[in-house]
A and B are shown apart, each in its own frame.
Chain A
């Protein structure tokens, strides 16, 4: 049974720092992995989707990597800003069709 874990559960850093969020999954047979952002009481914003054949995806200050063999993904945020404060969710689509979600990392960027 696929399980997705995100570490750390919460992270607080000063503005301007580069940071890395981690996501691990137990079954490497996945179709893709997706990173989302969720603001308090709001919906889901898709940030990056990495297909299983890819190793990384980039969008602006965000870079997501995927190492399927080790069951890990990282989300790198460069030059963090207070507006980046949110909960970041990782989800994998495995051999089935449903998304399996991590519990999220709550990120606070201090001005």
Chain B
């Protein structure tokens, strides 16, 4: 149980284009999802907290107009990287929280490469 999927697993795009990443909880409802970014050989850095039916809460230094987050249902959150640039190339990972629990279940990640 507690499986989280992400799509796509990898994407290559041109500079200036937008990319949408989906995060789904497959067998449970997640009232809260989190989006992380991980650069090579570095730790996971929280970008934002996504709550179903409300606006996402962004961490300091993360541009909300560049990283659009939509949590439209209890099983789906999306992250859209708008006007992507090479410096946005990274490993983006989502996680989902079961209501009433503390454990975050992570998706498999999406490798974004911006040319």
B and A form one assembly:
no
